[in-house]
Structure 1
Amino acid sequence: MAKRGARTPSQRQLRVGEQVRHAIASVIERGELRDPDLDCISITVTEVRLSPDLRNAAIFVVPLGGGDAADILPPLRRAAPFLRRRVSEMVHLKYVPELKFEADLSFDYADRIQRTLDQLGLPDAAAMGGSEKDEEHGP
């Protein structure tokens, strides 16, 4: 069996994380959370990272269409016990993970990189990849 690095998640962590992500996203989508702070906000669950023992889950969320993620974190943290109970009903595990909500900053980071590339006058990766393929294969 191949050794994994200390930070590389196992296939089981990835699979269970995806199941937990789907469960939480479906609860939020169906409007089962009865928090007035979340009434008019659409939330995207971008990723769930599980600890190796599957007992702790970091759930990364972002408000759909941008906005400040700090506004949605307190209501989601208040709803964590309810969401944990719903996850236990939807995903069958020996131990239901503790849910810790965090803001997903990867979209902001990618946007910052893109703006920096634009300021430098460099083409983005998609444009570069498309032109290289055209040159390799010809007309």
Structure 2
Amino acid sequence: MLRVAELVRHAMSELLTRSDIADPALEGKVVTVPDVRMSPDLKLATVYVMPLGGDNVADCLAALDRHKKFLRGEIARRVNLRFAPEVRFKADPSFDYGGKIDALLNLPKVKQDIEANRESEPLAGAVDHPAEKGE
């Protein structure tokens, strides 16, 4: 499943990079494909996409849905599977999750805890070697 998902991800990325899809909503936009998840029977591919900067995600998803049949055929041709997987597009949630983690790490209480932890721990990589002590 993982191997096929990675092949589908590469095929989708190539299709989006080469601008093989003629749609005004996708023209001039960089769309990333960070993840593809396949169903266990390899008949459904959920493609997670995100336009660069996260702008107009809904428009991007709608444009990809309009060209679903074309994309399915191109993926099947490039990946060489027994069955062409049905393609479903979703917005990638990992960027939002990363933003939430950054916001949490920037809270004053968390920063205070991080600084206190750094002061109490020895420097990373500072290891006492017997040779350095003259032993």
TM-score (norm 1): 0.79
In structure 1, the residue matched to 2:130 is: none
Mean Cα deviation higher: 63-72 or 104-113: 63-72
In the alignment of these two chains, the number of paired residues is 122
Gaps of 5+ in 2: 112-118, 128-135
**What SS does structure 1 have at the residue aligned with 2:89?**
strand
In structure 2, the residue matched to 1:37 is: 25
Identify which of 10, 13, 22 aligns with 2:10.
22
For residues 34 and 72 of structure 2, the distance between their equivalents in structure 1, rounded to whole angstroms, comes to 17
For residues 96 and 134 of structure 1, the distance between their equivalents in structure 2, rounded to whole angstroms, comes to 55
Identify which of 107, 110, 133 aligns with 2:95.
107
* Post-superposition offset of 1:137: 2.6
Structure 2 residue 69 is matched with structure 1 residue 86: no
Gaps of 5+ in 1: 1-12, 124-130
Q: Rate the CA distance shift 1:138–1:64 in 2: closer, same or farther, 3 A.
A: same
How many percent of aligned residue pairs carry the same amino acid? 39
- Structure 1 or 2, whichever has the larger Rg, is 2
Write out per-residue CA displacement over residues 58-116 of structure 1, whole angstroms, 9 at most, x where no aligned residue. 00000012223112100001111101111111011111110000000111111112112
* Post-superposition offset of 1:56: 0.3
For residues 30 and 134 of structure 1, the distance between their equivalents in structure 2, rounded to whole angstroms, comes to 50
Poorly superposed stretches of 4+, deviation over 2 Å? 120-123, 133-137
In structure 1, the residue matched to 2:54 is: 66
Report the aligned-residue RMSD: 2.4
* Post-superposition offset of 1:40: 2.4
Q: Rate the CA distance shift 1:121–1:52 in 2: closer, same or farther, 3 A.
A: same
**What SS does structure 1 have at the residue aligned with 2:107?**
helix
TM-score (norm 2): 0.81
User: 2:87 is matched by which residue type in structure 1?
Assistant: L
**What SS does structure 2 have at the residue aligned with 1:72?**
helix
In structure 1, the residue matched to 2:43 is: 55
* Post-superposition offset of 1:136: 4.6
User: 1:113 is matched by which residue type in structure 2?
Assistant: I
